[in-house]
Structure 1
Amino acid sequence: MRKTSARLLSLLSLLQARRDWPGALLAERLGISARTLRRDVDRLRELGYPVVADKGPKGGYRLDAGTRLPPLLFDDEQAVALTVALRTVGTSGADVEDGAARALATLRQVMPARLRHRIDALEVTAVGRSSSPSRDGADGGILMALGAAVRAHEELRFDYTPAYPAGAGDGRVRPPRRVQPHHLVTHGGRWYLVAWDLDRDDWRVFRADRITPRVPTGPRFTPRDLPGKDVAAFVTGRFRGSDHSAEWLCRGEVVLHRPAAAVAPHVPAGTVEELGPDRCRLTLGSWSWPALAAAFGAFDTDIEVVGPPALREAFARLARRLADAARSASASTAGQPSDG
């Protein structure tokens, strides 16, 4: 029979795996008698685990909620998942960064060396905050591999899935990308790798869910300085159409004929100023003037353009394009017979 301490850990792991356990089945899984099982359950209770016993011929055990948090037991996959969640908690918008840091330190202290080495390799930069969950299927194992390469300063080779696979069927075999990985970041609910592309001799930002690493990794490299030396500003700038600044290339201001309270929830990065019960001033940024005009138009209300002149011109161009699209749609359906 195994030592009591090892047996208790096995019992605790089983109780955490499912809600209800028949006593006979639990004893069979552990290879012990019903009497020894009862003693082990009592020992867990003494340690603070609220194990509830159901009496009767088919009685069993379950791990119930208690009045205090006892020590927990995690397998390797759970420990890695917790590490990823705690390292990226800053993007959630909740003010719990200090608690997350202390929880991660506690978790790391009790981890075996093999796991501690893996989580230490996962250095993540959270860019901005996001109230939405992750929108991609970034694999945890791939994230750990990318993090390890970043930490070790080792070149990477990987296959990269195109953004639009349906349009990529040109018969060409695309060689793997060769990069020097520098930062693993989260932005807008997605994971990205910031790397120096060796074939393009420039910085690139890759979506992690499109990366399939090839092994082994390449030689070690000397890290480079990002433009501006600020990874958060660099990544934000790339998504806003700039290489060196986190500011939008185009910023404009309008008055919307909607209450500020109705507009503000839909403006994650802008300024809303109340002008009255049914009017508000909205300032937004975008990567182009037509895109900015379209963003303002999405509020589906009357708009007064405050400025700059480039925004007024963009509204005029967008209006012409939409009118042309409407006429084209009308012309294509004019000759079709009605359903009646």
Structure 2
Amino acid sequence: MAEKSERLLNLYIMLLAQTRFVSKQDIRRAHYGEYADNPRGHEAFEKAFERDKDDLRELGVVIEVGSLDNYFDDELGYRISPDTSSLPEIRFGADEAAVLGIAARAWEQATLARATTEAMRKLAAQGVEIDTSRLDLVPPSLRAEEPAFDACWEATQKRRVITFDYRRPGEEAASRRLQPWGVVRSSGRWYVVGFDLDRQAERVFRLSRVQGKVTLTGKSAAYDVPAGTDVQAVAHNLVHRTPDIEATVLVRQRTGVALRRLSSSIDEDVAGPDDASGWDRVTVSGQARDLVGSVLALGPNAVLETPEDLRSDVVSRLRGVAS
């Protein structure tokens, strides 16, 4: 399958790059080497070439057929016109462009930063103006420092089996074989989710516990992700969750909608740190990382009161930003 896909792509590029029609013999020599100099391979080449043309046409590619000579039409050639193969112009609104801008700034991981940076270059070529300085107030950051990230991400895109050594706390590292379905982030950590070939069951592995190199094995498209699989939900169900922490947060009125939705109680019109507006006291439960992140995201519109260790964490992070 990979060999055929490469041949189709090379044929497409060859015909698209030509300003004139290309003879069938030139195509045969360039991309059908196994039939190039073998007289008996003529019929096999004809069948392969016809199949490849049909495959390209099914993908929407228009292959033009014309004479190689202006005066004689006894030999035909082939080409692809850019006018019939170019994609329609894509335009982004200000909100869509802003999302791509945030993504380009957020991703610090080289694997995905390349994709977002390329998207930004294309936006600039289209004349879409993005004022990235407006994002300096809350610069997002998504970093995947685990060495296993790149290989796991690549494997999910190509649907290739991976092998790696994995060490649970208090245990020796053990070799695992996985059909990866996706890479997800939860509570500040990265996980790879998939089907464990040795355990014959769904499993999730924290990337920071992967020991050594992750190896991609076998062919691409070696398996299918089960239809309807929600990788994020699988990770949430399989990852051991620590008990939720109850916290009280002062939230400025008419802000903090997400926190309010998760709250178990809300005391309205309480004393706050300033008199610029009214304040409410919200009681909410969740994971420590999630609660701290939610409070920090609200900036001056939220103050974490209790528990004290979470409050200290918020203060420490704010001081780090200020310095």
Same fold (TM > 0.5): no
